[in-house]
Structure 1
Amino acid sequence: MSMDMTTAGDTGLLDALQHEVAVFARRAEQTRLGGVAQVRNSMDRAAYLLLNRLDKEGPMGVKALAASMGIDSSTVTRQVAPLVDSGLVKRTSHPEDGRAVVLQLSPRGLSRLDEVRSSRRELMAQLTHDWAPEEREAFCTLLTRFNSALSARMAASGAPGTEPAPAS
């Protein structure tokens, strides 16, 4: 099978799809998907993803956090520094190995994350207020599939900052 998987009929649709994805990426970056109370509840994407991961998976070391996010340790170290400085993440020493550092969400970090999540949830509700529940569900399912395919492709190509997804 050739790399070009398009047929003549698909070209227009695929052009429209790539254009809409580009517009979405730009708008998401511009708004930082900050939610409804723009300034108060906006949060850097990297910070949001880090805090979210620590909330879902609990305290962990830099290496484990990097692996679970599919980015390298130096990136995590750089991204986590301002979160530690602002008190959203706590650095503690590992219970078994005092030399190892464990990162964990502070109570302040959790409360900030809850604020941002709530604001983003409200934004999603407003943007899709006239959608049927099935439409919201279908969009979420398809966007999840799209993101998974994109992650797998990046990992397979060895793109910087990506690691192959763990085998299931």
Structure 2
Amino acid sequence: MKRSETTSKAKLERKTIEKNRRIRMKALGFKLASAIPDHHLTQPKEFLSQLDQIDEAAAYIKILRERIEALNGRKAQLMKSGNIAKAAGESETLPILTVKELGFGVEVMLISGLNKNFSLGQLISIIEQEAAEVVTVNISRAGDNIVHTLHAQVKISRVGVDTLNIGNRIHEMISTNSLNFS
């Protein structure tokens, strides 16, 4: 074999390797962009270049990191306050409910004792009846308390969701169930 044939084969092989690398990078870029919810994008995905999609993904990851840090701090604070309330003999302050609107979503956090007097299915049902779809549910134990955190997305963005009504209905559910358990 001549030297020129060997060189041309090597060039062709490098081109093929580079082409495959670009195809793989493009596929990974689209996979990353598809993980970003549409309401976090500055413009529709069709109009974003690959570089812009990666920038949007990086910004979304940063938002999620900050949110995780804030939630961890809040969880630690709630764990402290739960332990302090227990030590002071004020366990009747449970359950604690917070309902927050987060753009096109809702966060419901309910802290109850180990002998909770409600069904998680009832809680999800109330949220979904108020035009929000439950996306994630996280249940963790903090001392003698159980922390239920539910995240839901608004089904119809132009209608939104009434967080006050969700809170009132959950309080009503807990009150009704605690009377049944007594």
* TM-score when normalising by structure 1: 0.29
More strand by share: 2
Structure of larger gyration radius: 2
**Higher RCO (CA < 8 A, seq sep 6+):** 1
* TM-score when normalising by structure 2: 0.27
